[in-house]
């Protein structure tokens, strides 16, 4: 009976994916007007391809959802009530290099997330 309980516990533990992994990054980018900014980003993986993301830059915090597909990583977010989109390329060193925009605005900003 004890072996069965140990086997059942091991089976259940192995069936539960290990998600909710958190990764922190330093964010450096350019705004739509060309000015620069610095801050941090935190990504929490929810599944093998989806995550939650939060940036803190210039005293503002924005949150969103994100997703990975091969070497592409994208996020939709809300910043002070505006909806934004960022598309990154995952580089070999683990950093993310991307372009972002906000709904209703012209142009795109740039951003690099470097693992801390």
pLDDT > 50? residue 12: no
Domain of 32, in residue numbers: 19-115
CB 96 within 8 Å of CB 110: no
For residue 3, tell me if it sits in a domain.
no
For residue 24, tell me if it sits in a domain.
yes
For residue 6, tell me if it sits in a domain.
no
Please choose, from the candidates 32, 6, 17, the residue with its C-alpha nearest in 3D space to the C-alpha of residue 86: 32
pLDDT in tens, 32-88: 999 999 999 999 999 989 999 999 998 899 999 999 999 999 999 998 889 999 999
For residue 2, tell me if it sits in a domain.
no
DSSP element (H, E) containing 98: strand 96-102
Please choose, from the candidates 112, 116, 91, 115, the residue with its C-alpha nearest in 3D space to the C-alpha of residue 27: 112
């Amino acid at each position: 009976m004890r072996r069965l309980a140990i086997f059942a516990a091991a089976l259940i533990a192995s069936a539960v994916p290990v998600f909710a992994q958190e990764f922190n990054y330093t964010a450096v980018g350019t705004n739509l007007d060309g000015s620069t900014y610095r801050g941090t980003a935190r990504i929490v993986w929810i599944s093998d391809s989806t995550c939650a993301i939060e940036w803190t830059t210039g005293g503002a915090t924005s949150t969103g959802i994100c997703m990975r597909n091969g070497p592409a990583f994208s996020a939709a977010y809300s910043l002070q009530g505006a909806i934004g989109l960022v598309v990154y390329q995952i580089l070999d060193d683990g950093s993310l290099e991307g372009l972002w925009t906000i709904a209703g605005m012209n142009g795109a900003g740039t951003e690099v997330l470097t693992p801390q």
